[in-house]
Amino acid sequence: MSVFRWGAILGCYAYRAVTSAVVALPLGLLVGGVIGAHPRGDEALWEPGGYWLLEVARLAQPGMRAALVQGGVVMLLACFGWLVPLGALIASQAPSRPPARACLKRAAEKLGSLALILGVFLVVQAGAAFGLGVLGRAVGGNGTRTSDVLGLVVPLSTLVVWWLLGVLHDALRVVTIQRTLPWWEAFNTAWELLRRRPMGALGAAGWRTLAGVAVVVAVEAMALAMSGVGGSLELVVLIHQVGIFLIVVLRASWLGWLNGELLAMPRQRSESPAETGARDGSEGESTEAGAPVADGAA
């Protein structure tokens, strides 16, 4: 079973590209209003000494808070809106190769469940960060070497806990889209999916995460190197778009791995299989044919 349904991947990329632009728009307009009349345009921001960069920050400060609030609200809404193309991408990876309309219908049907799952995991991740932060302040801050080490360990532990919760979150999303189960059985199925091959799951998620981090670092390094070159703004934008696309491809590869593992698991007796296949989103018997995705498929 191929994990790459390029129509669904391009849809996810388009959503990410558009929402990224919309989130950055208020701040971009604010900065453009200050530096737009400069003969060298945005290039002046990267002059040695950073004079215009600091001047823009000073002049734009009154409207900065409103721009950041607007961007934050749009980002929050975009996180929930992202569930539709993401759900369609997961549905498209069914072995029966469902058409786009069926995938979108399945994602829309499961939007409420996916949104609830997202909300729960956001609360759990925030709680984990708060708890680890309290622990770090309780055992650190006295200036000893031990407290300095703990000051490094606690943030790293928070990132690891967030990442592990994200792995479970993705598994639950795949189960929610591909199978019709009560929420507690969906959670148990997602947990069992990861528990069957824990090292395989952590390895499959881990190398894709590291690859995604490498893409982000490379994109930002290239963008920074190009920022001081005349007429390079379009090239910087293009580099960022390539980075977004590569991250979406890595995401599709990881979800495809989870889909393959789910195919290898027996169905629950209480399950009413959901059709995301040959018929346009109609309910019926789900096609289980197809080989699971190989470990580490990309």
pLDDT of residue 114 exceeding 90, the answer is yes
Q: Write the CB contacts of 50 (distance below 8 Å, at least 6 apart in sequence).
A: none
pLDDT of residue 137 exceeding 50, the answer is yes
pLDDT of residue 93 exceeding 80, the answer is yes
Mean pLDDT of the 266-273 span:
61
Determine the pLDDT at residue 43. Answer: 65
Can you say whether the dihedral through the CA atoms of 230, 234, 240, 245 is positive or negative? Answer: negative
The residue with greater pLDDT, 24 or 261, is 261
107: helix, coil or strand?
Answer: helix
Mean pLDDT of the 149-164 span:
85
Region of poorest pLDDT, from 2-6, 65-69, 270-274: 270-274
Determine the pLDDT at residue 297. Answer: 37
Label residue 48 by pLDDT band (50, 70, 90): low
* Other beta carbons less than 10 A from residue 43's beta carbon: 18
Determine the pLDDT at residue 36. Answer: 63
Q: Select the highest-mean-pLDDT range: 35-39, 46-50, 62-66.
A: 62-66
Label residue 41 by pLDDT band (50, 70, 90): low
**Cβ(261)–Cβ(197) under 8 Å?**
yes
Determine the pLDDT at residue 104. Answer: 94
**What are 190-220's pLDDT values in tens digits?**
999 999 999 999 999 999 999 999 999 999 8
**What are 172-190's pLDDT values in tens digits?**
999 999 998 888 899 999 9
Cα→Cα distances 120→53, 123, 129, 147, Å = 40, 5, 14, 32
Counting residues of the chain whose pLDDT is more than 90, the rounded percentage is 45
pLDDT of residue 167 exceeding 80, the answer is yes
Report how far residue 212's alpha carbon sits from residue 203's, in angstroms, rounded to the nearest whole number. Answer: 14
Mean pLDDT of the 60-75 span:
77
Label residue 103 by pLDDT band (50, 70, 90): very high
- CB-based burial label for 74 (10 Å; 0-12, 13-18, 19+): middle
Determine the pLDDT at residue 226. Answer: 73
Label residue 90 by pLDDT band (50, 70, 90): very high
In total, the chain counts a number of residues equal to 298
SS3 labels along 209-251: HHHHHHHHHHHHHHHHHHHCCCCCHHHHHHHHHHHHHHHHHHH
